[in-house]
Structure 1
Amino acid sequence: MPLFEFTVITKSLSKADLIKTLTRAGNVLLEKGAVIEKVESLGHRDLPYKKIAKQTGDSVYASNYFLFHAHMSSPARLEAKTILRNDLDTVHVEAVLTPTEKPEFECNLEEILKPPAERESVQKLREKQRLCHFTRQLIYKKTEKEWKAIPKSYPIAPPRD
């Protein structure tokens, strides 16, 4: 069964009402045959735009965001989504398919353990390295400053007879 991410946005509710709303949402998912993997709270946030509460018709500007990660079939997802959308305490419900394929991991420990001068990535960087005029000027000034900072000893001429 594919993994779906249900975004449930509720009205601004008290803690007790919020718990009841989330348990109702979780029970709807479980009744439709979902296996809930994780429930995340994204906190109380401002909505990107004004929403209208279903029962009262009041404007809702801030709400609670929750994510339900659940494995379920596609027809069951549609049924659960319609039931959750009709709930009076929810402002918005959306279900998105989450990709479960993990990219293949390639171990490159041998390459990492090499000294930097011998690594292919560093050699490619050196080949493509270009110095602009400004960078060359900075390097020149820095080396010139270091050269001037070195004390110089002048040879003493032999005395004249």
Structure 2
Amino acid sequence: MPTYELSLVLRQMNRPEIVSVLKRTAESIFEKGGFIRKLENLGSRALPHKISEHGLVHREGNYFAIQFDTAPNKIVDLNEEYGRDIDIIRKHIFKLEETKPVECTLHEELQPPAYRKDVQKMIEIAKRKQKKKYNYNSGLDYYPFQK
């Protein structure tokens, strides 16, 4: 199952109400056969602009990010269910790319720039892209292009 991230903006509420909304969103993920990897509270702050949602105008919101795994065909159902929830101002589900393993190249990075492989590749590319200069010893008595 692929990993998704759900970014939520909830309306301004008390802490127990926020907990109940997060439980509802988590239960809907569990009902669709998914499981949650991480739940992150990004805090409460003013919205970038006033947002009218479900007949109310909102100026502040609580931001959350939930990483979860579920089947791709369940995303449409989750999106529709969260769209009907009156406590959710904004929601968006992103597919997370699989992270590639990063090799440690500290010993290469500590070398002087002229000896690094990536710098040498850039120098080779620059040499290939240089224009050829006019050969002044071409047998002509004059430069055919005006300087």
TM-score of the alignment, normalized to the shorter chain, above 0.5: yes
Deviations 1:92-140 (A, max 9, x none): 111001111324415453x46xxx7xx3425679xx9xxxxxxxxxxxx
* CA RMSD between the two structures: 2.2
The CA distance in 2 between the partners of 1:123 and 1:107, in whole Å, is: 14
**Uncovered stretches (5+) of structure 1, i.e. residues with no partner:** 129-161
- Work out whether 1:45 is the aligned partner of 2:37: no
Structure with the largest fraction of strand: 2
The CA distance in 1 between the partners of 2:56 and 2:104, in whole Å, is: 54
The CA distance in 2 between the partners of 1:53 and 1:62, in whole Å, is: 12
The CA distance in 1 between the partners of 2:98 and 2:76, in whole Å, is: 20
Pick one of 58, 77, 80 that aligns with 2:78: 80
SS of 2:103's equivalent in the other structure is: coil
The CA distance in 1 between the partners of 2:115 and 2:74, in whole Å, is: 54
Match of 1:10 in 2: 10
- CA contact 1:5–1:98 (8 Å) conserved in 2: yes
Structure with the largest fraction of helix: 1
- CA contact 1:47–1:63 (8 Å) conserved in 2: yes
Pick one of 110, 113, 128 that aligns with 1:121: 113
The CA distance in 2 between the partners of 1:89 and 1:107, in whole Å, is: 47
- Work out whether 1:61 is the aligned partner of 2:53: no
Q: Using the aligned pairs only, state the percent identity.
A: 22
The CA distance in 2 between the partners of 1:16 and 1:44, in whole Å, is: 15
**Uncovered stretches (5+) of structure 2, i.e. residues with no partner:** 124-147
Which ranges of 4 or more aligned residues in structure 1 deviate by more than 4 Å?
A: 122-125
The CA distance in 1 between the partners of 2:2 and 2:48, in whole Å, is: 29
TM-score normalised over the length of structure 1: 0.65
- CA contact 1:11–1:53 (8 Å) conserved in 2: no
The residue type equivalent to 1:8 in the other structure is: L
